[in-house]
Amino acid sequence: MATINKTPKPKAKPGSQMFGLVMCISVFAFLFLISSLLSTNGFSIISSSISLRNLSRSKNQRQHTLHDKYLYWGNRIDCPGKHCDTCAGLGHQESSLRCALEEAIFLQRTFVMPSRMCINPMHNTKGILHHSDKASSVESGTAMFCAMDSLYDMDLISETVPVILDNSKMWYHVLLTSMKLGARGVAHVEGVSRVDLKENSRYSSLLLINRTASPLSWFMECKDRKNSSAIMLPHSFLPSMASEKLRDAADKIKVRLGDYDAIHVRRGDILKTRKDRYGVERTLHPHLDRDTHPESILCRIKKWVPPGRTLYIASNERTTGFFSPLSIRYRLAYSFNYSYILDPLIENNYQLFMIERLILMGAKTFIKTYKEDDNDLSLTDDPKKNTKNWQIPRIYRRNIPHFQANHNHHSCVVMPYLVRENLFIGNIGDAAEILQNGSSEITHILSILSSVSISFFTEWRSSLSIPSKEIKKVYVGRPDGGSGSEDDSGDGSKSSLPPEKLLYSLENAGKDLKLVRMAVPIRDMESEDLLDYLDVCLDFIDRSRKEGSVLVHCFAGVSRSAAIITAYLMKTEQLSSEDALESLRQSCESVCPNDGFLEQLKMFEEMGFKVDHTSTIYKRFRLKVLGDCYNRGERIDSSKFGADPGLPVEVSSGMEVSPNGRGTPAYRCKKCRRIVALQENVVDHIPGEGENSFEWHKRRSGSRFNKSDESECSSIFVEPLRWMTAVEEGALEGKLSCAHCEARLGYFNWSGIQCSCGSWITPAFQLHKSRVDISSV
């Protein structure tokens, strides 16, 4: 039997198994280490520093020398009370931000800047006047902050002190690393001086120092700024660090301004005394100038800014034309003159103020009426230390040799703005200069002032002496005066102006009586009647341009004269009111007619660039003027009432024949058949709109009272007519009775009457449908 010999297997060496096990463990350990490094950025400050250095290199490859240590000013965790979410103003936040940057430089740390800045609700939209209280909660919530990099250029700031934003990728890595390091990575400090943070090894070796903030806001008080060892950034540092798009916008505006001066006016006198968050009653901004009205400003700045200069005004005052009195000496410019540059860019008032500060800093002479730019505005926790005392405003002038050599010798006169050939616009100062000294260019002057007398100039400036010789005066409704009836009304009811009112004055005036001056009495008020003066003004401008050249001026050269020239451009060039005004602003950027004048210019456009007294548009306007006059306590003359359609002569002259040959619809007294109103006297209204229907809506001539209206309303409303004796007597309210049979027809009330449909009509002259019949005449 054969035997199978088994060859014994060689025994494995004990060391080979151990070697394989070690190799496997080493591979797994190496892979785990790599994974840990990638996920946690390392376990030491050295590895995290290397990672942070790599992450810090952005597209611009900024090379900072401080990447291993960081300073962060965070929100206070234990903020007490309901005021933790309150927002300080831009000045306070900038003051604190500048303090933080100074501390970062002192500690040789990179500053972690908040990515958002809190915005006071007053400034979360473009312009105080445009702020809406009806904004949704979502809109108001998102509008409470703006991105920090929309205000400041981070790259530009980093050239002085390295900064990162607290929403950047680098900051997340710093935060994660500091959390892993624990006590060795981060310290939350409060009330520790800068010197201790720098010299005490407990803090100096840490990766991150977190400054908790004051409970007043995210910022804190700079307690160390008065120390001799403190690093101080200039107050102009952050204003000059504006984002690139804001700097570009400011540069564009400065180019258009040319050689200019500037003034900042913070209107503190419109703010009221109130209690602060601590219950202490105080006056807001007590450090402001005591009088920031334009008349006071004009007196104060005239010794620093020569006449004729362009003056840029930055202010929180939003009243249109508030600073117009300054235009008698300077050519005024505002941010809204450059809306075509700012509107696509500006989202809130902080951005607007950033641009305005750059413009102010670029002025030849910059006058400050407040002291915030030169003082630390950070509030303290003690309310008694927050009150600031008013100081005399300081004047800052850039060192420009040309200006300093010549500012005492400004004798040249800057001519008014040329609008079109032989047509100029200016203010009372321009007109006074020409009247006093004459002009080789100007031959005619159109004065739009509250008084037509030449003495208005001497009252404005007592040193003036202007000779004049009257040619004629023309009054409303009077064809005498050598000019004919200038209001072309025939009867006074067609004009809104009161009878016997001075329409205009014509005279020779000025040096050697060579100038022809027409003066028109118009006040710069929204309720003022402009339409009834347009014809005489536009005719004078047209004649004057043919004979020479004409200066159109008012007191400031902003509202009244601008409205007249806008109407002239509308008529001669067939432009809309918006296009004509924009065209005028190409010549003079500061023009701004008041809202009442703008509405009347729109009516002028709708009437076909003429004042048509028969137009329903004009009749609505005339009724509005009558109502305003009554509300001011003025007696309404019967000549302003509509013609009595019941009189044969007035019926024949006032009636219009309908195209269908059926005659004019008329309303007759049901009892005696006397005509009490024509269809053209009826004032329409929208049924059921209640107090929203306060304005008059004139019926179109020839339109019939439809059945739907008849079912809704039990009355018709008409304009005041001459047969209404109770109205003529001046009563506020009363009955309307037929002039023939004395039957009661309705009721009148200058304060208004509610129609049966629910609409409120004011003023109201009501005829009950049950008391009248409709027929044709």
Q: How far is residue 11's CA from residue 6's CA, in Å, rounded to a whole number?
A: 15
Would you call 752 exposed, middle or buried from its count of C-beta atoms within 10 A (0-12, 13-18, 19+)? middle
Single-letter residue type at 628: D
Please calculate the CA angle 156-162-166 and round it to the nearest 5 degrees.
Answer: 100
pTM beyond 0.85, yes or no: no
3-state secondary structure of 145: strand
Task: Identify the bridge partners of residue 717 per DSSP, sorted by sequence position.
Answer: 683, 766
Instruction: Tell me which DSSP letter residue 112 carries.
Output: E
Contact of 714 with 705, CB cutoff 8 Å? no
The CB density around residue 355, as the number of other CB atoms within 10 Å, is 26
Q: How far is residue 631's CA from residue 101's CA, in Å, rounded to a whole number?
A: 60
- Look at residue 321 in the predicted model and tell me its pLDDT: 76
Written as six digits, the tokens of 167 are 């929403």
Q: What are the residues whose beta carbons fall under 8 Å from the beta carbon of 354, sequence distance 6 or more?
A: 151, 239, 242, 243, 246
Contact of 357 with 310, CB cutoff 8 Å? no
Question: Domains in the chain, start-ordered, CATH in brackets?
Answer: 45-239 (3.40.50), 242-401 (3.40.50), 417-609 (3.90.190.10), 633-776 (no CATH)
Q: For the stretch 125-155, what's the b/e string if a residue is b when 16 or more beta carbons lie within 10 angstroms of its beta carbon?
A: bbeeeeeeeeeeeeeeeebebbebebbbbbe
The CB density around residue 544, as the number of other CB atoms within 10 Å, is 22
Distances (CA, A) of 736 to 360, 732, 751: 64, 12, 16
Would you call 592 exposed, middle or buried from its count of C-beta atoms within 10 A (0-12, 13-18, 19+)? buried
The answer to whether residue 554 is catalytic is: yes
Cis peptide preceding 763, ω within 30 of 0: yes
Task: Identify the bridge partners of residue 310 per DSSP, sorted by sequence position.
Answer: 260, 331
Q: Which of 326, 262, 263, 300 is closest to 555 using CA atoms?
A: 326
Q: How far is residue 581's CA from residue 759's CA, in Å, rounded to a whole number?
A: 36
**Torsion (CA) 354, 355, 361, 362 in degrees, nearest 10:** 170
What are the φ/ψ torsions at residue 187 (nearest 5 degrees)? -135, 130
Indicate the helix (H) or strand (E) that contains 301.
helix 294-301
Written as six digits, the tokens of 476 are 């409303």
Contact of 56 with 194, CB cutoff 8 Å? no
Residue carrying structure tokens 């564009």: 252
Single-letter residue type at 694: F
- Look at residue 16 in the predicted model and tell me its pLDDT: 60
Catalytic residue, chosen from 537, 554, 592, 755, is: 554
Q: Which of 339, 322, 8, 48 is closest to 172 using CA atoms?
A: 48
Q: How far is residue 655's CA from residue 589's CA, in Å, rounded to a whole number?
A: 48
Contact of 262 with 360, CB cutoff 8 Å? yes
Distances (CA, A) of 573 to 18, 580, 609: 102, 8, 10
Q: How far is residue 557's CA from residue 414's CA, in Å, rounded to a whole number?
A: 14
What are the φ/ψ torsions at residue 428 (nearest 5 degrees)? -65, -30
- Per-block mean pLDDT, blocks of 10 residues, the chain (777 long): 46 59 68 50 38 40 52 58 58 78 84 79 50 37 69 90 82 74 72 78 78 49 49 79 93 92 72 48 43 72 83 81 83 88 87 90 79 37 36 31 33 64 92 90 94 90 89 77 40 60 92 94 90 95 95 92 96 93 87 91 94 80 78 70 74 46 78 87 67 43 42 80 83 87 87 79 84 85
Q: How far is residue 578's CA from residue 608's CA, in Å, rounded to a whole number?
A: 15
Instruction: Please count the CA atoms within 13 angstroms of the CA of 414 that sit on its side-chain side.
Output: 16
Q: How far is residue 646's CA from residue 739's CA, in Å, rounded to a whole number?
A: 9
Instruction: Tell me which DSSP letter residue 642 carries.
Output: B
